[in-house]
Amino acid sequence: MNFIIKHEIKGRLRIHIRQNKMTCREADILQYYLSSQKEIVSVKVYEKTQDAAICYVGKRKELLKVLMQFQWEEAKRQVPESFLQNSGRELNSQYWEKLVGKIVLHVGNKLIVPFPVKAGIAYIKAVKYIWYGLKTLFRGKIEVPVLDGVAIGVSLLRGDINTAGSVMFLLGIGEVLEEWTHKKSVGDLARSMSLNIEKVWLVRDDQEVLVAASGIQTGDSVLVHMGNMIPFDGKVIGGDAMVNQASLTGESVPVHKTVDGYVYAGTVLEEGELTIQVMETGGSSKFEKIVTMIEESEKLKSSVEGRASHLADKLVPYTLAGSGLAYLFTRNVTKALSVLMVDFSCALKLAMPIAVLSAIREASLYQVTVKGGKYLEAMAEADTIVFDKTGTLTKAQPAVVDVISFNGEEPDELLRIAACLEEHFPHSMAKAVVDAAKEKNLAHEEKHSRVEYLVAHGISTKIEDKKAVIGSYHFVFEDEKCVLPPGTEEKFHAVPSEYSCLYLAIENVLAAVICIEDPLREEAAAVVNSLKKAGMKKVVMMTGDSERTAHSIAKKVGVDEYYSEVLPADKAEFIEKEKSKGRKVVMIGDGINDSPALSAADVGIAISDGAEIAREIADVTIGADNLYEIVTLKAISNGLMKRIHKNYRVIVGFNTGLILLGVGGLIQPAASALLHNTSTLMISLKSMQNLLD
């Protein structure tokens, strides 16, 4: 790549790519390529100026080597087509050009175009607004389009072309800004909800083989286990399951799927398991389906937005009546028109949705995905927050520290068996077992029959015709009635108490205890304290772990209450009880067992690298790196509510002042229209600014 360095400080470089023109597609290719380099921390590519701002670590010469080795054709082959199709860069470019074009045309129209031509253009443009107003009246409603149509129509009848033109220009700018912000926010949200599946279980010769999702072809058979996202559109050729299709259809109840049924990429398998024959491997269709779903869904509407929209429409008849009264008492068309030119509804309908969608966009900058405005509102009102422990308050990467054999077999062999069972299921404890086996290069070929997973309990299967179970103490010893080998009681009670444990039993006899260290996140205590300062009155921890482990973690974190050895139903029941007391409850979790509670809460927050079903059911998803994102979400939510209430006060106060000035004859209709529409635009632009800057 041919480039020059425009600016440089330690750890940051701004380069200019020397070529005739950079397309949006080329900018996306460069963005993807640079982002994937280990030396580069962050990168932003600007296609219009053909610049790239790069933050990096390590040696400068290594970065320059990467940049000089870049080849467009080679890089293009590495970029997923779905990334290029759904990046959103072209959308931003189109709307920016549309906005600039409208401003240039309006200024040129005022300065250059002769008055007769200007008047003709105004009359032609006015047809759209007057027609919208008439259509609204024909439906028996008096809403914002009626007000716009009357204001523009009366201005034209009076020959006030400048006022009519200014009103239409500002309305047009508002439409572009609203549409741009809405589409960008929907696109950002859809991209975050799109598929991100790297590995799938390919069924080949009656064996399950873990392979890269990118290598799957149409016609291949793929096995999907409970709790996982279905990676491809396909026909069911085996199994029986309940599938959550809410992300595509909005259905709240899981749908039963069996042989000859059809399943869709991005839906989640809640119960059972399915073998599907892949019919479609493209990812872009999933993105398009999500975009359609979001645009049609009421999830994007908060109650504040709904009230603003409803109030806006209710105020229109009063504005029209006020204009009529102004004429009745003053017999002055100019004063009546001054009232008509000013209304509260335009600003209310424009500024409120833009504020909410901008807040959703801002949250995404901090790796927080919010599925709708009403969840930001609920987060601002929340006073109770419930944390799952494992993978949430504790680090998302627990590690196996010891495997204690109870049946005489080598610990590595027992770890191999455990990994063979656990690799099928998405949970941080299971991942720890699988990772430990990988580190020791323990190949764990499939040698068990069909696996059965019991939520929040464990796994049951058969290995060489012997029943094998792995899971919690409650599952292994109380539900499955497993026993200790004779003479191992003292050894069992000597297992270190500071670790979380998985118990592996074969033929109902304990074979091994796998000790897992699940260290507390460094920021956990500070996050809990920050949430209390931000308005959370009650912080609760719930876990399936033992009382001993739960007490230790709760004391370190500083929660108000904690509950140990709880089942998924217990978490959901606790949340329902809190809600019945009038509390607004937030639930944070990462596993399949957290799903009922996430669904029950006013705001369900899932950790991004947790189970797919948790992310699907949750209303908000946060990155796995830092719990401070929850504090950030709370701050954005609180800031949004403050902004919305401030907008209400400003809109009502400013427009009331304009009406009084107009009726008093202190300002002309053209000035009223200009000030009203300018204030609406300024409030909307202000609503687009980041809340945390």
Query: Do 633 and 378 contact (CB within 8 A), yes or no?
Result: no
Q: What pLDDT was estimated at residue 576?
A: 92
Q: What is the pLDDT of residue 540?
A: 95
Lowest model confidence (mean pLDDT) among 40-49, 103-112, 294-303, 614-623: 294-303
Range 399-517 classified under CATH 3.40.1110.10: yes
Residue 473 pLDDT: 85
Confidence of residue 284 (pLDDT cuts 50, 70, 90): very low
Q: How far is the C-alpha of 484 from the C-alpha of 291, rounded, in Å?
A: 54
Mean pLDDT lowest for which of 342-346, 391-395, 620-624, 675-679? 342-346
Contact in structure between 642 and 380 (CB atoms under 8 Å) = no
For residue 610, the model assigns a pLDDT of: 65
Q: Is residue 313 a contact partner of residue 613, using CB atoms and an 8 Å limit?
A: no
Instruction: Give the span between the Cα atoms of 674 and 169, in whole angstroms.
Output: 10
What CATH number matches the domain at 3-79, 3.30.70.100, 3.40.50.10420, 3.30.70.141, 3.40.190.10?
3.30.70.100
First to last CA, the chain: 35
Residue 299 has a pLDDT of 47
- Among 2.70.150.10, 3.30.470.20, 2.40.37.10, 3.40.120.10, what is the CATH number of 199-282? 2.70.150.10
Quick check: 384 and 584 in contact, CB under 8 A?
A: yes
DSSP 326-343: HHHHH--HHHHHHHHT--
pLDDT of residue 297: 46
> Per residue in 559-601, pLDDT tens?
999 998 887 778 889 999 999 999 999 999 876 677 788 888 9
Write the Ramachandran bin of 239: left for phi over 0, alpha for psi from -120 to 50, otherwise beta: left
Q: Residue 582: its pLDDT value, please?
A: 92
Here the tokens at position 690 are 């980041």
Task: Output the CATH code of domain 368-395+520-624.
Answer: 3.40.50.1000
Where does the pLDDT of residue 614 fall: very low under 50, low under 70, confident under 90, or very high at 90 and above? Answer: low
Average pLDDT (111-130) is 90
pLDDT at 66: 87
The burial of 525, by beta-carbon neighbours within 10 Å (0-12 exposed, 13-18 middle, 19 or more buried), is given as middle
Where exactly are the structural domains of the chain? 3-79, 94-190+300-356+638-687, 199-282, 368-395+520-624, 399-517
Looking at the predicted structure, is the pLDDT value of residue 510 above 90? yes
State the Cα–Cα distance between residues 355 and 572, nearest whole angstrom: 32
Neighbours of 387 (CB within 10 A): 28
pLDDT one-digit tens code per residue, 291-320: 555 555 444 555 555 556 666 666 677 777
pLDDT mean over 122-129:
91
Count of alpha carbons within 13 angstroms of residue 117, beta-carbon side: 7
User: Is residue 273 predicted with pLDDT exceeding 70?
Assistant: yes
What percent of the chain is modeled with pLDDT above 90?
19
Give the pLDDT band (50/70/90) at residue 624. Answer: low
For the beta sheet containing 40-46, the strands, ordered from the edge strand earlier in sequence to the opposite edge, are 3-9, 12-17, 51-56, 40-46
The rounded percent of the chain whose pLDDT value lies above 70 is: 83
Beta strands in 584-634 (DSSP E): 585-589, 603-607, 620-622
Mean predicted confidence (pLDDT) in 320-334: 77
pLDDT score of 506 more than 50? yes
> What local confidence, expressed as pLDDT, does residue 341 receive?
66
What pLDDT does residue 207 have? 76
Above 60 in pLDDT, residue 376? Answer: yes
For residue 175, give the amino acid letter. Answer: E
- What confidence score (pLDDT) does residue 633 get? 93
pLDDT in tens, 179-204: 776 676 666 655 655 555 667 888 88
Average pLDDT, the chain: 81
pLDDT (tens digit per residue) in 206-247: 777 888 777 788 889 999 887 777 888 889 998 888 887 765
Beta carbons of 594 and 586 less than 8 angstroms apart: no
Q: How would residue 483 be classed by pLDDT, with cut points 50, 70 and 90? A: very high
For residue 248, give the H/E element and its range.
helix 246-249
Q: What is the pLDDT of residues 652-682, one digit of tens each?
A: 888 788 878 877 777 776 677 678 777 877 8
**Predicted local distance difference test score (pLDDT) of residue 650:** 86
- What is the per-residue pLDDT for 638? 93
Spatial CA neighbour of 534 closest among 650, 384, 634, 618: 634
Q: What is the pLDDT of residue 457?
A: 64
3-state secondary structure of 505: strand
d(CA 535, CA 641): 14
Pick the more confident residue, 184 or 79: 79
Residue 51 to residue 35: CA distance in whole angstroms: 15
pLDDT of residue 248: 58
Local structure of 661: helix, strand or coil: helix
